[in-house]
Amino acid sequence: MNISLDLYLFEFNFDLIKDSFKANKLALYKEYSLYPKIVKDLSFVVSCNITFKQIQKMILANGTKFLRNVVLLDEYQGLGIPENETSLCLQLTFQSDEKTLQTIDVEEIIKTLNNLLISKFSCKIRE
């Protein structure tokens, strides 16, 4: 038959591959922004009844399109913090895909978020 020994036969089950990708929830890549990030920390004291997820959800909803990420850096209860309250330190990352953000713009967003934290969760902002 004169068939080459380097010949291979295989079959793909694309439905199985697609389901496997969905089950593994592989990361989808986004285009990298050419503009720099601005990272700010936000510290405050809040009631123990309020979860980080509640605060994170509110901040992400009100942080404008420039707020990319909210991470809990530190949670502390103890000396210097009133009973039934906890001190949280969050790291906020801001970035634009269209322009270089100015510090003054980010500070205005932070000021708005501080006011929302005070009014919605009765937080005490730490300087």
Q: Tell me the per-residue pLDDT of 53-108, one tens digit each, with 9 for 90 and over.
A: 999 999 999 999 999 999 999 999 999 999 999 999 999 999 998 999 999 999 99
Identify whether 53 is part of a domain. Answer: yes
> Using CA atoms in the order 92, 119, 51, 48, what is the torsion angle rounded to 10 degrees?
120
- In a domain, residue 4? The reply is no
Nearest to 93, CA basis, from 71, 111, 69 = 69
pLDDT score for 11: 85
CATH number of residue 121's parent domain: 3.30.70.380
* Continuous segment of H or E residues that includes residue 89: strand 85-94
Cβ neighbors of 55 (< 8 A, separation 6 or more) are 46, 88, 90, 117, 121
| Number of domain units in the chain | 1
Output the average pLDDT for the chain. Answer: 90
Instruction: Put the strands of the sheet holding 67-76 in their side by side order.
Output: 67-76, 85-94, 38-47, 124-126
Domain membership flag for residue 39: yes
Q: Does residue 82 lie within any of the structural domains?
A: yes
Whether residue 40 lies inside any domain: the answer is: yes
Read off the pLDDT of residues 9-67 as tens digits, 9 standing for 90 and up.
Answer: 778 888 888 887 777 766 666 677 889 999 999 999 999 999 999 999 999 999 999 99
